[in-house]
Structure 1
Amino acid sequence: MPDRDQLFWLFFRFSGRVSRAAYFLAGMLLAIVQAFLLYRFTLVPQGSTEGQLWAMAFWAVVLVSIWSNVALGVKRLHDIDRPGIIAASLFIPVISIIAFLVLCIFPGTPGPNRYGAATNQPK
């Protein structure tokens, strides 16, 4: 699978499984991009055209990140042989942090499971 297709699958598809490392690194990448855009927004004068552009970019990335975080969570849950619907817990404020840490710590199912033959690839 070409790199572009692999990245699209990682961030936007719900099938397959991802490892702890891939889940953590992809989640951190999304958080860093959001933090950078928010930082840039805070550097410009309030109400300026530049500020509006940074704000629009930030909110666009937040919307894409919501989808990506759910897709990553579903695939990570698949790796530990759990149904993807549990990814809804990522929307509960305090629980979301705990859920992220749990998904980063719990090892995946060794070998194939009902969600895929191996980690870090579509089913």
Structure 2
Amino acid sequence: MKLQKILFSFDGRIGRRTYWLAILALIVAGLISTFAPFLLDSEEAAVLMVALTSQFIWLLSLWPILAVGSKRLHDRNKNGWWLLVFWLLPFALFCGGVSIYLFNDPSTGRSGDFSTGSILIFASLPPALWGIVELGILPGTKGPNLYGADPAQQPA
């Protein structure tokens, strides 16, 4: 399968090795583009470049991350919408827990509720770990399935 199809198409299936290599490449590219401005001579220029480009770079990588995850789920004979459970749910629970834990209650002037925030943060772990196991550890279905031919049986 061509690199363009791996990173930008939601059709087909990919194996675990291709999934991990694609995710690793996207993480490395994101980190390099985020921290490369610090090589500039001026510290102020580097900070400004990071502030302006890092969010944009990570936003651009969202499409390939979703495409790679979707194809990996297809290999497991699952719909790509499962990414909502594996990525969006843990992110929402974690952010909710952190916001409850950190931010002050304006009516009382106290900091947030530690126990509720902690519960939400810890509740984000099971779906995230399940996603890692489902996407990166468990093998795909043998032979063709609803989403195409077995990538293990196709020539490289």
Q: Does the pair score TM above 0.5?
A: yes
> Can you give the 5+ residue segments of structure 2 that lack an aligned partner in the other structure?
92-124
Task: For structure 1, list consecutive stretches of 5 or more residues without a partner in the other structure.
Answer: none
Residue 29 of structure 1 corresponds to 25
> Which one has more relative contact order, counting CA pairs under 8 Å at least 6 apart?
1
In percent, how many aligned pairs have the same letter? 31
CA displacement 1:67-123 (0-9 Å, x = unmatched): 1111111100000101111011222334345413431101001111110013288xx
* Residue range with higher mean Cα deviation, 105-114 or 85-94: 85-94
The RMSD of aligned alpha carbons is 2.5
Residue 49 (structure 2) aligns with: 53
Q: Secondary structure at the match of 1:99?
A: helix
Provide the rounded CA distance (Å) in 2 between the counterparts of 1:32 and 1:96. 21
TM-score by length of 1: 0.77
Give yes or no for contact 1:15–1:115 (8 Å, CA) kept in 2: yes
* 1:90 pairs with 2:87: yes
What is aligned with 1:79? 75
4+ runs of 1 displaced by more than 6 Å?
none
**TM-score, normalization by structure 2:** 0.63
Which residue of structure 2 lines up, in the alignment, with residue 100 of structure 1? 132
Q: How does 1:104-123 map to 2 (within 5 A)?
A: 104-119=136-151
Q: Would you say how many aligned residue pairs link Structure 1 and Structure 2?
A: 116
With over 3 angstroms needed to count, the CA separation of the structure-2 counterparts of 1:87 and 1:41, relative to structure 1, is same
Question: Does structure 1 conserve the Cα–Cα contact (< 8 Å) formed by 2:141 and 2:150?
Answer: no
What amino acid sits opposite 2:75 in the alignment? Answer: D
* Residue equivalent to 2:120: none
After TM superposition, the structure 1 stretch with the greater mean CA deviation from structure 2, 109-118 or 85-94, is 85-94
The offset of 1:42, in angstroms, is 5.1
Task: State which structure, 1 or 2, has the greater radius of gyration over its C-alpha atoms.
Answer: 2
